[in-house]
Structure 1
Amino acid sequence: MSADSFHHQVEQSLKVQRKTYDFEDFVSAVKKAKSGNVELIKMQHFDFFYWPNYVSQQKLKGPSRLYLSELVQVKAERGSSYLLCKTNYDVMSPYQQLDFLQKKSMKGIKLPSHRISPCGFPEHKKLNILQSLSQILPDNRKQFWIELPTPQSKD
């Protein structure tokens, strides 16, 4: 895949960088990949949405059910409420139409609410990482791990 080439360049950039202590180190390695010709967008928690599941289980049942392991090509067309799928690599074979959405989704899907706060990282794992890295992590690089969010309690 074309993404494999980019991932390889990120790996090479990480090797050249030698030590990656925090997320900012990783960001700089990604920026340096592909000779710096990378548009990098650091996503925040509010860039993620709570999308409802509009899959119709009734439509998925039946003898013509397609399984993910059988699919070799999937095509989505803008404005269409179904997917086009192939189960073989033959260029001349026609696409199968996969209609899997509930009827209520056909009226239009509104943009759902976005995430208000980060999911967080379990406190015990965060403390374990800080304890494990305390000997090798420079003091000026510990801030990322200290500020790593933890899940909000649901009282």
Structure 2
Amino acid sequence: MSADHFHHQVELSMKKHKTAWDFDDFVARVSSANGGKTDVIQMSFKNFFNWKDFSSKFKLKKEQFYFKNLVIATFNRDENVFQYKTNFEEEQFKVLNFLNNKAVKTGIPMPEPRDRNRGVDLTRKDTLVSTLAPIIPKTSLKFWQELDVYRDPPNDGDDEGAA
């Protein structure tokens, strides 16, 4: 089944059931798409890992590699290089050894799973709850009231911050 077809089925399910007030409503809409033949897996923070950066800044700068120029990329299992082309007419792939020496010698270790939800900023949560409280059912408001609030500002490499 193509992705476009599946997304269309989800859109039809969303239109049929009108509103999705919380995540459980959304899961129910996606599950009922495509005649209920869809398996939905709810992921938690334990399904995500804290990956460390083992790339060599020196090697990346030396090669003058930019993702914006990339048209084809290949990664091969058990190889520590990245092969790429910057235009479709090139005959040969360029090879970029982007890992630092420690990672090449010892390998990349399996990272630790995350130990908690990332959460949102407390003021953002308060704004969400106060805005939604008058317009959604009380049973659905519980989801928004129980959103995790982060203890420390996130420092996990995401560009968007907590909002």
* TM class, shorter-length: 0.7 to 0.9
**Please, what is the CA RMSD of the aligned residues?**
2.0
Deviates more, 1:2-11 or 1:74-83: 2-11
Matched, 1:24 2:24: yes
**What is the CA deviation profile of residues 9-44 of structure 1, one whole-angstrom value per residue up to 9, with x for unaligned ones?**
333332222101001111122223344333322111
Matches within 5 A, 1:57-68: 57-62=57-62, 64-68=63-67
Structure 1 runs not aligned, ≥5 long = none
Matched, 1:108 2:107: yes
C-alpha distance in 2, partners of 1:85/1:36?
A: 41
Q: Structure 1 stretches (4+) deviating beyond 6 angstroms?
A: none
Q: Report the 3-state secondary structure (helix = DSSP H, G, I; strand = E; otherwise coil) of the residue aligned with 1:115.
A: coil
**What is the CA deviation profile of residues 106-142 of structure 1, one whole-angstrom value per residue up to 9, with x for unaligned ones?**
2111112211111111111111111111121101111
CA offset at residue 54 of structure 1? 0.5
User: How many residue pairs align between the two structures?
Assistant: 151
C-alpha distance in 2, partners of 1:96/1:30?
A: 42
**What is the CA deviation profile of residues 76-102 of structure 1, one whole-angstrom value per residue up to 9, with x for unaligned ones?**
111111111121234x73222121110
C-alpha distance in 2, partners of 1:124/1:84?
A: 45
Q: AA paired with 1:99?
A: N
C-alpha distance in 2, partners of 1:4/1:68?
A: 26
C-alpha distance in 2, partners of 1:111/1:42?
A: 23
Matches within 5 A, 1:110-125: 110-125=109-124
Percent identity between matched residues is 34
| TM norm structure 1 | 0.85
Structure 2 runs not aligned, ≥5 long = 154-163
Q: Report the 3-state secondary structure (helix = DSSP H, G, I; strand = E; otherwise coil) of the residue aligned with 1:94.
A: coil
